[in-house]
Amino acid sequence: MNILIPADIEDMEEGKITLLDDVKKWVLIDFDLGTIQSFKFYDNKDDIKEYIEVLIVKSHEEYVWPYMEEGIAVLVAPMQMYLEDVMEAFLFKELHDLNIGN
């Protein structure tokens, strides 16, 4: 499963999720069998050629309709800051799903 997260820096340990308007790097994570299989950082979302299944954003207030129209599931990480914490919350199904309402 390919998961996309907007980030502030190119670092999985120290990087934090950001608002879409403030994104500095995009991290595409290949997540399978409950673990991160691989990840890659991008400067521009348009450079990503892989199919994105899930976008994780920081706030319910984000403008995510373009992603939803592409069939991308959108989850919100309202409490988590660090990328590793976001992925742990994803694993334990602690993120909010914008596709089914708040």
CATH number, domain at 68?
3.30.420.130
Structure confidence at residue 25 (pLDDT): 98
DSSP assignments along 12-64, one per residue:
TTT-BB--GGG-SEEEEEEEETTEEEEEEEES-GGG--SPP-EEEES-TTS--
Please classify residue 73 by burial: count the beta carbons closer than 10 Å to its beta carbon, then call 0-12 exposed, 13-18 middle and 19+ buried. middle
| pLDDT < 70 stretches in the chain | 100-102
pLDDT of residue 43: 98
Which residue range(s) make up the domain with 78? 2-100
pLDDT of residue 102: 44
DSSP bridge pairs for 82? 16
Tens digits of per-residue pLDDT, 78-95? 899 999 999 999 999 999
Q: How many domains is the chain built from? A: 1
